[in-house]
Structure formats: structure tokens, C-alpha cells
Amino acid sequence: MIDKIAHRGPDAVQVAKLEGAPVIMAHSRLSIIGPDDGAQPIAQGSDMLIANGEIYNHADLRAILGEGAFKTASDSETILHLFRSGALRWIDRLDGMFAFVLATGDRIIAARDPLGIKPIYMARMGEGLAFASELKAFDGLGLTAIEAIPPGTLYDNRDGWRRWYRIPHGAAKAEPDVDGTARELRLVLEEAVAKWMVADVEVGSFLSGGLDSSIIAALAQKVLERSGKGPLKTFAVGTDGSPDLVAAKRVAEHIGSKHHEYVFTAGDVVENLPHIIYHLESADVDLVRSAIPTFFAARLARQHVKAVLTGEGADELFAGYTYHHAYVDDPRALADELTRSLGTMHNINLQRVDRITMAESLEGRTPFLDRKLIDFAQSIPAALKLCRTRPDAVASTGPTTEKWILRKACADLLPESLVWRKKAQFDEGSGTVAALQEALQTLTGERGEIGRAREGALYEEILRGCFVDPDLILANAGQWEADRVAA
């Protein structure tokens, strides 16, 4: 099992048995915090832990729990000591992205972060249980009843399932203090980016030239400047002359980052598509399309850094998708839809980011999904997220602007033309759609446009060729959901 997910952590692989209990744990490590002594599994007494992700408030937790209890510099060890503290809601004190399995002599606990940024699956193994970060770890083992542990949920073999986090519901009506809201949002954003840059290794940033990644990169550059470090390393990919490459270069020049770019071709797509689908663990057309530029960006970034910031989550928090425009005159429905879509991210965009970055042994970090930022963003009225160009304009006039309050909060960070640049899907702005059509024609030997049905069938065919038990993978694969709230 651990060999199949060794790409997630090439720095160290360790397998251990919990003394006196039928528990074996294995961990492949990508060392980000405490690189010298943070090997896992972490064992203390009759307890053992393996964890994936980052605990960003680990320094504060160490101070509270007592530094003397810790044996390593690893942020993951705080999970073990919080559990051992006996606090009723100990898991709620963890601030970060994580998935973990913790074992005692007679107990197994497995849990996942609030939004499901980090993955974890559970399967039946005879009368026992098996856990893994990716579905491929179970392939060919004949395991049954495989399921993803839901975001914000904890499984305890003694006490059963417990949902420990719920996404706060979005607000709808506008409030008078628009300027104050924008200023506070900016402060919360700055705090989130600084927190999610905590590491003992260099952290870079994806930069597509779109609003979300540009804001994150601009704020990250400021964090490094304040600490006397930098410049920030930024990474952009696209086909030759694609809008994303042009825009990303302009942003990089504006913020002063050390910029890297990679121009990919249809031939590159043909060569790497099986690798992408195998690691993505899905044949969903939209997921595969967006995974292609993510893969090239991850491969580029891993040549320079071990962790990158990404802009995922901004569209779900601030109404950034084209389909959101249908809600402009119904802020209550928009708030409901944003709340719903946040709850589905683990199966789509977050699965793509995790699988594709980790396939290249790169850690992807998503500051927009910081818990405090989620709480604040959900308290901002939906009428300020998607509105006519002026928030006080009457409903029947003016163009619709998505992520309006986010743009206002960060208007001084970037050139005006970029702050108000219309959103393009990652696979469109990067030129992936055109390159993919050419690649699909090469792979199928067919001429003319390859339709979605044929495209999806090809992806499934490729996926089936990658696994011993492809039905297991397909049954649990992430895919886009269409159960949107009616506007």
C-alpha cells in the first residue's frame, strides 16, 4: 500500500507496528516542518499517529500543551498530544489542512480537516479496517466498503462517526459599511497568507494571472519582504502565447517575484495524460481538463520548491464562476449556493490540487480556505460578492461583476486592468482546451472535433488500463455535482 503512494513523500518511508495491538502504520514523508526529526509514525507510550498535511498553529499548541511533552519538531505531533490531553473537542483546536489516523491499544481514530483539503479513505479488511490517502493504495487488495471520510468528520471505532465542523452559512443582505468590510477582509486575507506560508522550506506560488492566484502571490511577496526574505518564486504554464502566460508575467513584474514559466504543447498532453489520470483517480471530463495545466505547473514548481500556494476557494467564497451571474438579483439563493459548493470542493478542485501536486511530491496550500477567512467571508453579504458594478446600483442596470468585494479589498495590490480582468477557466486561459483537442485527435486517430462523450470515454479507457480493479476507483472517483440551488 505505501509503495503505491510513495510519490506523496519521497523524503522518508517508515513502517511500524503498535506494540501490543493489531495495528500497522506506514508513512511516506514530504518534510516541510521539522525536517530533521519529524519522521512518522510518531509513537508515544501505547499511542501511535500518522498524519498528512500541516498544522499551522502548532507553535501556539506546543506552548499550551507544554514543550516538554514533545519528542520532535514536527507540527503533526501536536495532534497526538491534543488527543492525550482529554479535552472534549480537542480536534477543533487544530488549525490547518490535515488527515490522520491515531491508534491506541484498543482504539482507532481517523479524521479530516474542515473542507477536506487533505484526503483519507477507509476500507474494510476482513474484520479490520484499512486507511489510505489515495484510492490506488487499495487497488488489487480485494478490500470492500471503501468510503472517503467526509470533510470535518472524525471516525472513532469506539464512538462511531462525529461531524466536528460545519461550514457557516452565508449571509445575504448588504450592509452599509462597504469600505469597512473591504478593509477587514484585506486584513484577514493577509493573516491567512502569512499563516499558510509557515514552513522550514521555501514556499512558492502558482500564478495564472487571474485574480485569485495574483492576490495570493502579491500578499505572499509582501510577507517575504517584511521578513527580509524572497523574492517569492512564482510559476505559470500555458500554451505558446496563451492569455494566462501573458497576464502572469505582468503580475510577476508588478509584484517583483522571481517568475518561472513552462510552455506546453499538444504533444506534452499526449505524453502525460495517462500519468495525470492515474494520479487524479478520476475520468471526469472537467476534472481531467483542469488537472492538465495543474500537472505542468506542479512539475515546474517542484524543480524549485517543495510547497506552493494556490488560489483555490476564492470562487466558492466570493462568487467567481460564470454560472453565479444568474444569482445577481437573488442574494439569498447565491449565499445558499456558495455554502453548498464549499461543501463539495473536496471531491473536485481540492482533489485535483491534492492528487496532482502530490504526484510530483509537491505540497499545495490553499490560503483562501483558512478557517478564519471562511468564517469572515461567509459573514459578508452575498450582495457584495456578486453585484452590479456599483453595489448601490438598481438591480436592472449595470454589468455584473463577480468577486466584487474581493476586488475592492485588493485593488491596490495589482494593476487596475488585472484587478478587473474577467475570469477565465484555468483550462481555457492556459490554452489547454485547444491543445487538448489536438491531443485527443492524436490519441483516437479521429479527425474533427472530439465531443465530450467521446472524450470522457477515452479518459475512462485510460483509467481502466491503469488499475487492477478500476471499478473500485471509478466507484469512488471525484466528479462535478450539478445539484445547484435554484436562483
| Residue position matching grid coordinates 506546543 | 62
Q: Which three cell numbers stand for residue 365?
A: 496550500
CA distance linking residue 167 with residue 161, whole number of Å = 18
CA distance linking residue 215 with residue 220, whole number of Å = 8
Which amino acid, one-letter code, is at 264?
F
Burial 25-60 (b: 16+ CB within 10 A, else e): bbbbbbbbbbbeebbbbbbeeebbbbbbbbbbbbee
Q: Is 163 helix (H, G, I), strand (E, B) or coil?
A: strand
Q: Which three cell numbers stand for residue 2?
A: 505505501
- C-alpha R_g of the chain: 22
- Pairing assessment for the beta strands 203-206 and 233-238 based on DSSP bridges: parallel
Q: Helix 432-444 to helix 452-464 angle, to the nearest 10 degrees?
A: 70
- Residues facing residue 422 across a β-bridge: none
CA distance linking residue 403 with residue 320, whole number of Å = 6
**Is 13 flagged in the annotation as binding?**
no
**Is 237 flagged in the annotation as binding?**
yes
Q: Which residues are annotated as a binding site for L-glutamine?
A: 75
Give the residue ranges of the annotated binding site: 75, 237
